Amino acid sequence: MFDVGFTELLLIAVVTLIFVGPKDLPKVARYIISFVREMKGVAAKVRAQVDEVVEQSGLNEVKTATRTIVDLDGKPQIAYDLSEFTSDPSKHN
């Protein structure tokens, strides 16, 4: 998502240390971590709600129907979702 390298992270750490100070840095870090966790939870809830709306509206059938594609010869082909192929053998059944 963000293309942040080691030098950028080091620069952010130094600037944060200068502005926040070493005394308050643990408090700020805990706040940032709790904020990120809360945002991940919100994103998961939104994703679940969107999935529920998609399920209720019947858009799953559209998604399934669009997985069949046609090649240049006009023959139907299946477009596979690579997330279906996991390393966990129990999920293949």
- Residue-wise pLDDT for 27-46, tens only, equals 988 999 999 999 999 999 99
Q: Considering the domain boundaries, does residue 87 fall inside one?
A: no
pTM of the model: 0.51
How big is the CA angle at 60 (ends 57 and 62), to the nearest 5 degrees?
95
Query: Whole domain around residue 34: which residue ranges?
Result: 24-81
- For residues 83 and 66, give the distance between their C-alpha atoms in angstroms, rounded to a whole number: 16
Q: Considering the domain boundaries, does residue 92 fall inside one?
A: no
CB–CB of 69/79 below 8 Å?
A: yes
What is the percent of the chain where pLDDT is above 70?
Answer: 65
Q: Considering the domain boundaries, does residue 53 fall inside one?
A: yes
- Which of 35, 33, 32 minimizes the C-alpha distance to 43? 35
Q: Considering the domain boundaries, does residue 13 fall inside one?
A: no
3-state DSSP call for residue 73? coil
Which pLDDT score is estimated for 5? 87
Domain count, the chain: 1
Q: Considering the domain boundaries, does residue 49 fall inside one?
A: yes
